[in-house]
Amino acid sequence: MNKSLHTAKYLFFDFITAMISWTLFYIYRSTYIEPLKFEYKPPVEFNQRYWLGIITIACFWILLYYLSGYYKDTFRKSRLKELAQTFFTILIGTTIIFFIAILNDQVLYYRNYYKLFSFLLVVHFALTYVPRLIITSITNYKVHTRKLGFNTLIIGGNRKALDIYQKIENQPKSVGNKFIGFISIVNKEKYLLEKHLKKLGNLQDLRQIIDQQSVEEVIIALESTEHKEIEKIINHLDNKNLIIKVIASMYDILTGKVKMAHIYSTPLIQISHSLMPTWLMQAKLLIDLIISLLALLIFSPLILFLAIGIKLTSKGPILYSHERIGQFGKPFTLYKFRSMYTDAEKNGPALSSKDDNRITPFGKFMRKAKLDELPNFYNVLRGDMSLVGPRPERKYYIDRIVEKAPHYLHLQKVKPGITSWGQVKYGYAENVEQMIERLQYDILYIENMSVYVDFKIMIYTILKILKGKHI
């Protein structure tokens, strides 16, 4: 089940159909609309303007589909939702193209504008939706017939867990759950679910099992006596890129908490990880990439100056690289300009302080203006980081923070950032206790995430740097 290849199919056909629909629109405009204005039929010329237009328009459509979140989770698409999403996205895109590229056309009658708009809308929608429908239908057929599934883990091993397992397995059409086993909350000699699934471990093994078994979905099916463990379970799962579902009660159904995505699915409550609407999350990512690329280009002379300065003022490499923990607990290599002497951590990991004698004189200059973090923009381009988000930490310190503040793991729901609300509001943390104090601001950021908040944090970061304040 290659997700990248499957997404590439949608991308390929969307790009091709965008080019074909624009070509047909170009021919229609040249053949039927322009002769009314010129009183003769000009030849259809596939000139430089046409080729520039076709590439620009196709890229515009791909960007719009990306911002709408269409290419996210391509194995779990509903054809009805896809129909509505495709139509409304194309309606918005056609309207934008109309006002930017078509409204300037000189036409003999205003109704010709309606013809141009309607032709582009109908042709583009038809050509785009048909390949999407075919790909999605084939994928859904494979899911329904259990040829394609998503590794699913059940938390719980007794009556409720057995009931939910049997209901899902006995459905006439599968919704994609491929059960790999279960874990228990309470230690017992026997579990009712053991007759059907293998016990993979206990709650303390949950994170390791998820990583080793490539789990994509978790169903929490606890007995009433085990409900006190739910908070621990959520803390273990909240920083993982998973679909989390819990058994729904009749109260949940009556109060509208249960939203059914499939006719044949079992009533479960899906715990949402959405911190922002999909289009805003995609816009945030796009802003990250554009600003990071511009920053590396604009500051390239400064980057060269800093590289020479580091090399001339102390022995050792120009760049400092170290493993950090990113979104969903995934490790990545963080790059910074080296601001310390090469043997700075010969006695083990240690946080830096304002008067740290391990920092080189040139390193103090860089740190004052946060210039040592310029290579972080490369991490953003790689997709490891964002411009704004909780600062990435080493696993060594994360383990110590989690011992005192388990809710720290909630920070891993988002990508770490070059700057953060915690840094702006609290400043630099010199020990674990201060890191825990700063944690409240990063949690607040996650609960209030928006592109607007990101820009405010970036502006305040720049202002603090210009004022010479240490963040």
pLDDT value of residue 39: 60
Residue 296, classed as helix, strand or coil, is: helix
Label residues 410-423 b or e (16+ Cβ within 10 Å = b). Answer: bbbbbbbbbbbbbb
pLDDT value of residue 108: 53
With both helix axes pointing from N to C terminus, report the angle between 300-313 and 278-298 in degrees, rounded to the nearest 10: 60
Its sign, for the CA torsion 276, 280, 282, 287, is: negative
pTM of the full structure: 0.74
pLDDT value of residue 254: 44
**Mean pLDDT of each 10-residue bin along the chain, 471 residues long:** 89 96 89 64 75 92 93 89 93 91 63 85 96 96 92 90 89 89 86 91 88 91 73 75 76 50 62 75 91 95 95 91 90 93 73 77 88 95 94 90 86 92 83 87 87 90 79 61
CATH of domain 150-271: 3.40.50.720
pLDDT value of residue 343: 77
pLDDT value of residue 128: 97
pLDDT value of residue 358: 87
Q: Which of 433, 438, 442, 429 is nearest to 389 (CA)?
A: 442
Dist. CA 249–CA 252, nearest whole Å: 5
Dist. CA 208–CA 187, nearest whole Å: 18
pLDDT value of residue 182: 94
Dist. CA 316–CA 307, nearest whole Å: 11
Q: Look up residue 64 and give its two tokens.
A: 């719009």
CB atoms within 10 A of CB 333: 11
pLDDT value of residue 104: 63
pLDDT value of residue 225: 66
Burial class (CB in 10 A: 0-12, 13-18, 19+), 250: exposed
Domain boundaries, the chain: 3-144, 150-271, 278-466
pLDDT value of residue 179: 94
Label residues 191-230 b or e (16+ Cβ within 10 Å = b). Answer: bbbeeebeebeeeeebeebbeeeebbbbbbbbeeebeebe
Q: Look up residue 60 and give its two tokens.
A: 């515009």
C-alpha distances in Å from residue 65, one per residue of 81, 273, 286, 383: 14, 21, 13, 20
Spacing of C-alpha 368 from chain mean position? 32
